[in-house]
Amino acid sequence: MSSACESFRVELERAVRGGGRALARLAAEPHARQCGACRTALAREQMLERALAAVPAPAVPPALARRVLAALAHERLRAPVLEEHELDELLESVPAPPVPPDLGARVLAGLVPERSARRRRPRWAWLVAAGLLVGAGLWAVRARSSAPPPSPLVEAEDLESDEELLAYACERWEELHDEDLDVWLASIDPLDELLLEYAEESWPENAAPADAAGGF
Partner 1 sequence: MPAPDEPNVELPTPDPGVAWMLRYQQGDERAFDQLVEGYSPRVFALITRFVGPAQNREDLVQEVFLRVIRARHDYRPEARFSTWLYRIVFNLCVNENERRKRGVSLDDGEGEAHDRWADERVSAPGAELERADLVGSVRAAIAALPDRQRMALVLAKYEELAYDEVALVLGTSEKAVKSMIHRARETLRVRLSAFLEEELA
Closer by beta carbon to partner 1, 76 or else 115: 76
Q: How many residues bind partner 1 (CB under 8 A)?
A: 30
The interface region with partner 1, picked from 61-69, 121-129, 179-187, 194-202 by CB under 8 A, is: 61-69
- Min. distance of Cβ 67 from partner 1 in angstroms? 7
Out of 3, 76, 112, 116, point to the residue binding partner 1 (CB under 8 A): 76
The interface region with partner 1, picked from 48-56, 143-151, 169-177, 199-207 by CB under 8 A, is: 48-56
Establish if 17 lies at the interface with partner 1 (CB under 8 A).
Answer: yes
DSSP letter for each residue of the chain: --HHHHHHHHHHHHHHHH-HHHHHHHHTSHHHHH-HHHHHHHHHHHHHHHHHHHSPPPPPPTTHHHHHHHHHHHHHHSPPPPPHHHHHHHHHHSPPPPPPTTHHHHHHHHTHHHHHHHHHS-HHHHHHHHHHHHHHHHHHHHHHHHSPPPPPP--GGG--SHHHHHHHHHHHHHHHHTS-HHHHHHHS-HHHHHHHHHHHHTSTTTSPPTGGGT--
In the complex, which residues of this chain contact partner 1 (CB under 8 A)? 13, 16-17, 19, 40, 43-45, 47-48, 50-52, 54-61, 64-65, 67-69, 71-72, 75-76
